Structure 1
Amino acid sequence: MKKFLIASVALAAMVGSALAQETIRIGALYNVTGGMSSLDGPSLYGAQLAVKQVNADGGLLGKQVELIAPDGKTDQQETAKAAQRVLSEGVVAGIGQSDTTFVMAGAPLFQEKGVPFVTSGATHPKLPEWVGDYMFMAPFGDDDQSYAIADYAYDKLGARKVVVWTDNSMDFTKALSAFFTERFTEKGGEVVGTDSFMMGDTDFSAQIARLASIDPKPDAVFVSAIPSEAGISVKQIREQGITMPIISGDGFDTELVTTVPGPELANDVYFSTHTYRADDRPEVRKFIEDYKAEYGRDPENAFAPLGYDALMLVADAIRRANSAEPADIQKALKETRGFKGVTGEISYTRATMVPPKPVSIISVKQGEYKVEEIWKPEQQ
């Protein structure tokens, strides 16, 4: 009986191992509920579309791809648990997250296990340095996008004096404000006031009162926020009759900027984001068609194609490595050059390992989004 039990356990382990090897598992860490859901939800949809297309084309190395995507619930502890879960299920790589704080809750666990992680939307340029050599970025860095909107505010909007509001609870928002201030003041502009708030705040009356009291009146207000505060801040600023331009980064690349205040108040808003809207490259056109065919709607924002790009970046690395071993995938990712993503070409040529990608400047006028210009970064 004892021998039979041992044999049964061994057989079960073998069967379990064989089943685990039938698919190539990739983890997806996203906050599909909570304050980050308007970015992470579309990003996950983009990644799921990529998996469906890869599998329809025969999968990778003769196997189907399986995406494991537990909800991080816009909570750092839940994100860490989600990372532990997918790693325990034998993923060969991970993708996800649209914010630096949540990447830092999960990606270091991938680094510890020697499994590559590609963030689809977190933009702090020090992420690869902070996490390690198994950390990769599909998007640009916050320095590039902050410089882009600072240049636009100074050169095109004619802003010389600005007020800077910062969500002090997030690494991303603090970095965005710091890089914006650096660039704007280097160009000769002046920050005439600063203010702060925290993730989850819903009342900006005190900040608005201080903004309105500044004399002489500033030319613009820079609001460094995530989506949950983006729409609310626009609504409340405009409701108080303040008409100066509101400028920001890709945390404003959300439908909440127009749906919360409504089209009449969603006016003279400008933000930097990932090159995608109004781009006629074939990769963009095909992605929009495929997304609409799959989900019955246009992609919500640039984070949908970023999720798609992150998954396809991993798939490309697996094909080039001809291996699903995490170390081989990491090596192939590091050697990525000229990968033609929907959100722009990705090459890891900088020492920082942050891809030098173009940045779109978007305006919102009467609730309508428009690409104003494409900003090109320095390659180094």
Structure 2
Amino acid sequence: MSSDICRMASAFAFIALLEICIIGSMALAQTDRDQFAMEGASEQTVKIGAIYNQVGSQSPLDLPSARGAGLAVDEINRLGGIDGKEIELILCDGKSDTANVGECAKALIAENVSAIIGLSDTDMVLAAGPITSAAGIPFVTSGATSPRLAEENEGLFLACFGDNVQARAGAEYAFNEMGIKTCSLLVDGDMEFARLLAYYFKERYADLGGEIIMEAFINDSDQAILSQEVSDAHSEMIYLAAGPEEAKAVIEALRKADIDSPIFGGDSLDSLDLRRDGMGRIIFSTHALLDENSSRTGEFVRAYKSEYGYPPENAFSALGYDAVKLLAEAIDRAGSSDPEAIFQALGNTSGFSGVTGDISYQDDCRIPNKDVTIVSLIDGEIADLEVMQSTNMPLISG
């Protein structure tokens, strides 16, 4: 990825320490192990903080990611840790609230962590990033996809692709692969992620020759009126830029109104809530298809099933796993748990092989150039998928 991407990517009470769970081994064997038990800290450990929203609107993405992170810690510690030191993963629940997320960042810094991972939404990272940057703590976001985050927050790295890349992939798949020439664009105007995703999609779709017939914000909208507006537009597809909880409500309303057009979206649609009968055709961009028979993802899928008793819920589980493994490799190369040394080692990452793809940070850019997987569902069942090569997706201006 060229350095242009980086240039373009342009209180509540203090969280009680009981809400921060220090996990040495992160052994989460039960089906519901979302409440993490406090364990004694060891001096011979490397402290890594994690901020994930275990309840609320972001939990469909963050809970799987936290479980994936826990699995990675387990595996690393079973193999002897990092240079003989076990990882302590200190997990703080942001509760899908930006104020709580900011307090989590402060609490983890107070715990003297060497680095922090986590979060799957841009607004959530915007609440934590300035705090970690000011403290000089490296932060690897496992799933927040704004390409502006790394530019605006010193010390912040993305383990995922940017919204510009996934939006472009969705537009090209719709126009080139499916021949869809008209679109209704629905956006959650309260989410930075949704606004950026919609902007990048609209720009690329128009460049290809597609026409946006109608645009609307979904916030506080009357679902019946919104559905009627979409119906009256007679577009061939709908692009929905929204979080998982909001997307579910909108899609249910559209289907109830007998609108059967395919609904496209970004990685926030990679949610179990949308994988069920009656949802019609949903097509979304995501970070990987987790297939037990895949040479890249199979080992992770089997380990996750063994650990938790069920398969990975979505690609965010693998992003959490990759974020820990990426950070651990950087700490090992740095030969130190000092935050500045870790930051330098992360910046020199090249060819890290993760479950969700290879990660390299080139030309001082802290966003990896990763492929995009397009998944097509019909009533919750996978009907088609395609991997869009990142090398064929040059930078979108703006």
TM-score (norm 2): 0.86
Q: Does 2:67 match 1:54?
A: no
Higher helix share: 1
Name the CA shift for 1:278/1:370 in 2 (closer, same or farther; >3 Å).
farther
Name the CA shift for 1:307/1:203 in 2 (closer, same or farther; >3 Å).
farther
Q: 1:226 aligned to 243, 254, 259, which one?
A: 243
Specify every segment of 5 or more residues in structure 2 that has no aligned partner in the other structure, as ranges: 1-40
Indicate the SS of the match to 2:297. Answer: helix
CA distance in 1, matches of 2:293, 2:262: 28
Match of 1:275 in 2: 288
Does the 8 Å contact 1:335/1:348 carry over to 2?
Answer: yes
Q: CA deviation at 1:202?
A: 8.6
Indicate the SS of the match to 2:92. Answer: coil
Q: Does 2:378 match 1:365?
A: yes
Larger mean CA deviation between 278-287 and 303-312 belongs to 278-287
Q: CA deviation at 1:205?
A: 2.0
Q: CA deviation at 1:281?
A: 4.4
Match of 2:228 in 1: 209
Q: 1:165 aligned to 186, 189, 197, which one?
A: 186
Residue 148 of structure 2 aligns to which amino acid in structure 1? K
Residue 228 of structure 1 aligns to which amino acid in structure 2? E
Does the 8 Å contact 1:25/1:65 carry over to 2?
Answer: yes
Q: CA deviation at 1:194?
A: 0.3
Structure possessing the higher radius of gyration over alpha carbons: 1
Does the 8 Å contact 1:61/1:323 carry over to 2?
Answer: no
Q: CA deviation at 1:234?
A: 1.6
Does the 8 Å contact 1:31/1:40 carry over to 2?
Answer: yes
Q: CA deviation at 1:283?
A: 3.6
Does the 8 Å contact 1:29/1:96 carry over to 2?
Answer: yes
Q: CA deviation at 1:275?
A: 2.0
Does the 8 Å contact 1:360/1:371 carry over to 2?
Answer: no
- Pairing 1:114-125 to 2, within 5 Å after superposition: 114-125=136-147
Residue 356 of structure 2 aligns to which amino acid in structure 1? T
Q: 1:317 aligned to 304, 326, 330, which one?
A: 330
- Pairing 1:83-98 to 2, within 5 Å after superposition: 83-98=105-120
Indicate the SS of the match to 1:69. Answer: strand
Q: 1:255 aligned to 272, 275, 279, which one?
A: 272
Q: CA deviation at 1:110?
A: 1.1
Q: Does 2:348 match 1:348?
A: no
Match of 1:27 in 2: 49
TM-score (norm 1): 0.90
Match of 1:107 in 2: 129
CA RMSD of aligned residues (A): 1.7
Residue 142 of structure 1 aligns to which amino acid in structure 2? D
Does the 8 Å contact 2:77/2:86 carry over to 1?
Answer: yes
- Pairing 1:192-207 to 2, within 5 Å after superposition: 192-198=213-219, 204-207=223-226
Q: Does 2:150 match 1:128?
A: yes
Match of 1:329 in 2: 342
Does the 8 Å contact 1:277/1:371 carry over to 2?
Answer: no
Name the CA shift for 1:20/1:376 in 2 (closer, same or farther; >3 Å).
same
CA distance in 1, matches of 2:221, 2:206: 30
